[in-house]
Structure 1
Amino acid sequence: MQIDDLFNILHNSVESQNNGRKISLKDMANSLGISMRTYQDWKLGRAKPQAAATVIKMLGMLDDDEIIRAVRKINKLKDA
């Protein structure tokens, strides 16, 4: 699996969570605090951010319940 596949899966999952409402590359990039060009390059596989690939691989090592716990902890840090 390539990093662009992972970004596409995650992008589609965020859209699904929002009742199927499409999210533009610009809006997603803004919500992530990066430029649209950077996000577009990741999504199209033109750039391969090592940190993101590593985080996704680490999440893949966890079972569903542990992923939920980890994401909740991350969200608490983000909101602090």
Structure 2
Amino acid sequence: MIETNDIFNLLHNAVESKNLGRKISLNDMATHLGVSMRTYQDWKLGNSKPQAAVAVCRLLCELDDDEVLFVLKKMKKLFGA
């Protein structure tokens, strides 16, 4: 079974890959997410498990690939990214 820290590690690595392998510090990622570095570090280490993250991931897993892309594109617009 996948753990919350696995999700955050996968996403962190994906963001680094998108940036051509440039390492992103925990502090930079935390700032980008709007949380403290300690909170993000706890998420990555599995010391804290934000239930909302798990719920969102489970919902996304219920969708087909094209539906996931549609939802993510809509979210991207809402976040202004």
% identity of equivalent residues: 59
TM-score by length of 1: 0.92
Runs of 4+ with >3 A deviation: none
In structure 2, distance between residues paired with 1:39 and 1:32: 9
TM-score by length of 2: 0.91
- TM-superposed CA distance for 1:57, in Å, is 1.3
- Output the aligned Cα RMSD: 1.4
Q: How do 1:1-80 and structure 2 match up within 5 A?
A: 1-79=2-80
Q: Which runs of 5+ in 1 are unaligned?
A: none
Larger CA deviation: 11-20 vs 60-69 = 60-69
- TM-superposed CA distance for 1:63, in Å, is 2.2
Number of residues of Structure 1 aligned to a counterpart in Structure 2: 80
Deviation per CA, 1:14-71, whole angstroms, max 9, x where unpaired?
Answer: 1111111111100000111111000000000000000011111111222222111111
Q: Which runs of 5+ in 2 are unaligned?
A: none
